[in-house]
């Protein structure tokens, strides 16, 4: 167990205003020996957020293949119940903490994770989408963060294998049922396309039935309303991870982006995750390297020290 005080902050990710987007706790550990998994899981349960992140410095800087300086950290993510293999909003929150606190003195951070090396890059603020209807207030910092994540294939799934899904989603009109090849922790997610983004936004699922579904969780998605400025809407239901709905989930867009890119015939997309807190993601599919670039903003809402 870690005995010394541990600095932490709470960051709202994929938003430019406090108390929107997806909150994550970010804890800064001094050395790898501080990574006591039992303690880390207990702290995550105490925070009771969709994700608690643990950063441990590897070295102050290192040069990448292009001879650019990068900052390197170990990064792990825990829900209130389990450690996960991949987390988008937790990575964004961790990068924002390092950039905003000047612990990262470069514009590129390499995170060594259970999903390999993930890159976060500080980029100038810019968006073609009017987000005023979804957030208010001024940005905390004048930069966005771009994450470089792997794609996750969407595979065919027999709807007969999940006969109760129609009732689970309270009769929502289902266009297609698929599943992801893999997800955090090595499990797949069910992938359900609905008839419209509006249906996605107003969906009220049966939580206990969601728990009975195969896989880790259920992704629901649909085309965005005309004139909204978005390409698609989504939501992610994951009661098995200790939270009924993850407000904004970067990692599910590793599957959503290739799916909608093929469906819409373009590689640059803007998505809205239509949870009650809501969040905006600017997205790009790198077809050659099978990578998804996920861009968003974040706001620090709390700072302190863990004393136990």
pLDDT (mean) for 241-264: 96
Whether pTM > 0.85 for this model: the answer is yes
Give the active site residue among 33, 46, 51, 146.
51
Which pLDDT value is given to residue 133?
35
Which pLDDT value is given to residue 159?
67
Which pLDDT value is given to residue 38?
95
Instruction: Please tell me the CATH superfamily of domain 6-150+296-306, with its number.
Output: Diaminopimelate Epimerase; Chain A, domain 1 (3.10.310.10)
Query: From the centroid of its chain, how far is CA 152?
Result: 14
Structure token pair of residue 21: 């987007």
Which pLDDT value is given to residue 160?
60
How far, CA to CA in Å, does 13 sit from each of 23, 35, 280? 6, 24, 10
* Dist. CA 121–CA 295, nearest whole Å: 9
The answer to whether 68 and 226 have CB atoms below 8 angstroms apart is no
How far, CA to CA in Å, does 156 sit from each of 159, 161, 178, 181? 9, 12, 5, 10
Tens-place pLDDT, residues 61-93: 555 555 567 899 999 999 999 999 999 999 999
Tens-place pLDDT, residues 211-247: 989 899 999 999 999 999 999 999 999 999 999 999 9
Please tell me which residue, 125 or 245, carries the higher pLDDT value: 245
Nearest 5°: phi and psi at 218? -125, 120
* Dist. CA 22–CA 252, nearest whole Å: 14
Which residues lie closer than 8 Å to 202 by C-beta, 6 or more apart? none
Q: Domain extents for the chain?
A: 6-150+296-306, 154-289
- Percentage of the chain modeled with pLDDT above 90: 78
Confidence at 127, pLDDT banded by 50, 70, 90: very low
* Dist. CA 134–CA 163, nearest whole Å: 35
* Dist. CA 79–CA 11, nearest whole Å: 15
**CATH fold match for the domains 6-150+296-306 and 154-289:** yes
Query: Is residue 51 among the annotated active site residues?
Result: yes
Whether 1 shows a pLDDT value over 60: the answer reads no
Instruction: Please tell me the CATH superfamily of domain 154-289, with its number.
Output: Diaminopimelate Epimerase; Chain A, domain 1 (3.10.310.10)
Whether 269 shows a pLDDT value over 50: the answer reads yes
């Amino acid at each position: 167990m870690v005995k010394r005080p541990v600095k932490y902050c709470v960051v709202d990710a994929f938003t430019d205003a406090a108390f929107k987007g997806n909150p994550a706790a970010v804890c800064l550990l001094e050395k790898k020996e501080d990574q006591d998994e039992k303690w880390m899981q207990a702290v995550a349960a105490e925070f009771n957020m969709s994700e608690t992140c643990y950063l441990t410095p590897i070295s102050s800087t290192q040069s990448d293949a292009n001879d650019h300086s990068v900052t390197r950290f170990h990064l792990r993510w825990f829900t209130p119940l389990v450690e996960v293999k991949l987390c988008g909003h937790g990575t964004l929150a961790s990068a924002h903490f390092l950039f905003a606190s000047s612990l990262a003195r470069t514009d590129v951070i390499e995170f060594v994770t259970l999903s390999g090396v993930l890159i976060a890059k500080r980029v100038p603020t810019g968006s073609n989408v009017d987000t005023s209807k979804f957030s208010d207030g001024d940005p905390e910092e004048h930069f966005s963060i771009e994450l470089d994540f792997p794609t996750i294939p969407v595979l065919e799934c027999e709807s007969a294998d999940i006969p109760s899904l129609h009732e689970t989603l309270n009769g929502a009109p289902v266009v297609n049922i698929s599943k992801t090849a893999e997800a955090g922790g090595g499990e797949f997610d069910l992938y359900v396309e609905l008839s419209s983004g509006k249906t996605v936004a107003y969906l009220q699922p049966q939580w206990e039935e969601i728990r009975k579904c195969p896989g880790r969780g259920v992704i629901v998605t649909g085309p965005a309303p005309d004139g909204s400025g978005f390409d698609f809407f989504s939501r992610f239901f994951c009661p098995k991870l200790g939270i009924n709905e993850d407000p904004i989930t970067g990692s599910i867009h590793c599957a959503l982006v290739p799916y909608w890119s093929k469906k819409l015939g373009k590689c640059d997309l803007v998505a809205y995750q239509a949870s009650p807190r809501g969040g905006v993601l600017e997205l790009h599919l790198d077809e050659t390297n099978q990578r998804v670039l996920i861009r968003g903003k974040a706001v620090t809402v709390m700072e302190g020290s863990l004393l136990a």
